[in-house]
Structure 1
Amino acid sequence: MTDSVFTPGPLDRSDRVYVAGHRGLVGSAVWRRLEAEGFSDLVGRTSAELDLKDRDAVFAFFAEQKPRYVVLAAAKVGGIMANNTYPHDFLSENLQIQVNVMDAAVEHDTERLMFLGSSCIYPKFAEQPIREDSLLTGHLEPTNDAYAIAKIAGIMQVQAVRRQYGKHWISAMPTNLYGPGDNFSPTGSHVLPALIRRYDEAAKSGADRVENWGTGSPRREFLHVDDMAAAVLHLMEHYDGPEQVNVGTGSDVTIKEIAETIASIVEFEGQTVWDTTKPDGTPQKLLDVSKLADAGWTAGIGLEDGLRTTIDWYRTHVDSIRQ
């Protein structure tokens, strides 16, 4: 069965929505957004309650819950160091999670599924800003290629389900995300939360210097996770197509600039030094968000405002957040 004619529209607020990964950065934001929008039957399970790598357990969960809608935000994620050190874990665990959830969703007739990936799916030297059709046109960034391959496989599975079963599932590829609920671990976090933690601790301790990896020259695009959650719902209600949709702001800054902004907000007055023996990663990752704009959505939270609220959240929750 191939794609049939389908016009997306408002999701039924009374029908069941399963948010896979509802305690994570993206999943928790999606959950908050759906609650705010009046969805009354949200379902989530922690990893302790449901191991998404356990195929039998996932199928049993879907047989019991039968969600009409699914947001697949569950994933094993991490920064450059974690991805580079544990490539097998990032490849294997993400493939298992995706395949199990999507296979169970097919088996139990999930109507709409949103698969969330990452901008790292695109080639390292893709033309900027990166269009959706840049996928599979060049070599990946070696430090996170295993994770990227898993996410590419997820896109392909969504497309295969559309072709074989005619289901109107979609994929979205966010740029770098940040916000409440992020992972601020010194070894497992992405660049922005790592910088927030580093500079805040330095400011509190009165340290005279902060050392960061690389040169600070790579350019990165950052999207507040609450904007991402809004985009997820918007796309589920307004977009249908086999091609993944980029989700971002359409503008970027250097790592050095983001470090300076964070240092200023936390009132760190010392020196920043850059360890140029450490890898920079991809030189630039700016997404072309034309398709997203055509679907009627643009980001609304400015970077500095988003950073201030994220830093406030971090300081409030520093004793209880993931370490």
Structure 2
Amino acid sequence: MTTQTSQPRGLLERPLDRSARVLIAGSAGLAGSALWRCLTRNGFSNLAGPRSAELDLRERQAVFSWFATHRPDVVVLAAARVGGIKANATRPADFLSDNLRIQVNVLDAALEHRTQRLLFLGSSCIYPKFADQPIREEALLTGPLEPTNDAYAIAKIAGIQQVKAVRRQHGLPWISAMPTNLYGPGDNFRPDEAHVLPALIRRLHHARHTNAAHVINWGTGTPRREFLHADDLAEACLHLLEHYDSDTPVNVGTGTDLTIRELSQLIATVVGYEGTVQWDPTKPDGTPQKLLDISRITALGWKPRTSLEQGLTDTYTWYKNHLGTATLRH
């Protein structure tokens, strides 16, 4: 008698042709640049990633013309207007409009040219503010969003729904992945745009080198967050493109979290800052906890490789090496 084992739902075994034309939309960003490194490392020889100066993805005709000329076989849509809690809270119209236009243009152009494999990158902020923890993919659209980034979340939810609609109407095997908070080389350290981790690196580095007695961080420090190295996300994207085919979006994370206060302490150690860290509770905390259930992707055979301590060290090294250069978005 043979024992049959059940396969994870949506399991696919279809290695990508390493000579396939692959478009990485958003190749200059944190996720996109990591994807470029990952695909190059894995033998892909025909990558395309036009920068925004070459191709503004918000311009519909330009996007359609690019697809007509280059006809990519695979598309990873990693392009987005992104930012931390301050940027999202103060410029919601920009985040909604820009991200909707980017997504609709790229997805419509890919559909017109029958692009056979496409991966849309969303965000863990798509889930309800008070979703049960850890958050399963089924929590989508079951409750109200976090108000400080609801415009960005709505745009990402629209992208997920468009991928589902294309699958249902046109039968193309497109998929979506929902990464948790990303960090790593190439992150955005601009004061008004940075997410919490690069913002803390920048602030604590500056405090150390100016001998500041204390720094003040936003909020109470009590919210819990999960952090994934961008290189781990890139490997997950390749794994999903070759092993997954379902309309259910897939969470990508580490399965562990920590408080922002604990993160600040870790970064202070990496940076070498020995002063006092204070907290400003008049500033927003955001969602109390945002930990993803990653059982779906681990059942497909993927798991993260980079510890937070090692990832923070690598990211800080990159930051120091690029201070004062055009590469650092400072």
Structure 1 and Structure 2 fold alike (TM over 0.5): yes
1:100-132 deviations in Å (ceiling 9; x for gaps): 000000001111000001000000000000000
Q: Following superposition of structure 1 onto structure 2, how do residues 42-53 of structure 1 map, counting pairs within 5 Å?
A: 42-53=47-58
CA contact 1:195–1:259 (8 Å) conserved in 2: yes
Q: CA deviation at 1:295?
A: 1.0
1:51-87 deviations in Å (ceiling 9; x for gaps): 1011000000000000000000000000111001110
1:220 to 217, 225, 237: 225
User: SS state of the match for residue 297, structure 1?
Assistant: coil
Residue in structure 1 matched with residue 61 of structure 2 by the alignment? 56
Residue in structure 2 matched with residue 150 of structure 1 by the alignment? 155
Q: Percent identity?
A: 65
Gaps of 5+ in 2: 1-9
CA distance in 2, matches of 1:6, 1:96: 31
2:140 to 115, 129, 135: 135
User: SS state of the match for residue 126, structure 1?
Assistant: coil
User: SS state of the match for residue 261, structure 1?
Assistant: helix
CA distance in 2, matches of 1:94, 1:186: 21
CA distance in 2, matches of 1:23, 1:225: 13
Tell whether 2:107 aligns with 1:102.
Answer: yes
CA contact 2:58–2:101 (8 Å) conserved in 1: yes
CA contact 1:123–1:137 (8 Å) conserved in 2: yes
Q: Partner amino acid for 1:213? A: W
Q: CA deviation at 1:8?
A: 3.9
1:87 to 68, 86, 92: 92
Residue in structure 2 matched with residue 284 of structure 1 by the alignment? 289
Tell whether 2:280 aligns with 1:302.
Answer: no
CA contact 2:11–2:300 (8 Å) conserved in 1: no
1:206-232 deviations in Å (ceiling 9; x for gaps): 111010000000000000000000000
Q: Partner amino acid for 1:54? A: E
Residue in structure 1 matched with residue 207 of structure 2 by the alignment? 202
User: SS state of the match for residue 54, structure 2?
Assistant: coil
Q: CA deviation at 1:319?
A: 1.2
1:183–1:101: structure 2 CA closer, same or farther, 3 Å change rule? same
User: SS state of the match for residue 172, structure 1?
Assistant: strand
User: SS state of the match for residue 87, structure 2?
Assistant: helix
CA distance in 2, matches of 1:119, 1:294: 19
1:254-280 deviations in Å (ceiling 9; x for gaps): 000000000011110110000010010
Q: CA deviation at 1:7?
A: 3.9
CA distance in 1, matches of 2:13, 2:140: 25
User: SS state of the match for residue 302, structure 2?
Assistant: coil
Residue in structure 1 matched with residue 78 of structure 2 by the alignment? 73
Q: Partner amino acid for 1:189? A: A
CA contact 1:50–1:57 (8 Å) conserved in 2: yes
Q: CA deviation at 1:95?
A: 0.3
Question: If the length of structure 2 is used for normalisation, what is the TM-score?
Answer: 0.96
Cα root mean square deviation, aligned: 0.9
Q: Following superposition of structure 1 onto structure 2, how do residues 214-253 of structure 1 map, counting pairs within 5 Å?
A: 214-253=219-258
CA distance in 2, matches of 1:6, 1:160: 20
Question: If the length of structure 1 is used for normalisation, what is the TM-score?
Answer: 0.98
Q: Partner amino acid for 1:157? A: Q
Q: How many pairs are equivalent?
A: 319
Tell whether 2:172 aligns with 1:160.
Answer: no
CA contact 1:8–1:240 (8 Å) conserved in 2: no
Return structure 1 stretches of 4+ with deviation > 6 angstroms: none
Residue in structure 1 matched with residue 329 of structure 2 by the alignment? 322
User: SS state of the match for residue 296, structure 1?
Assistant: coil
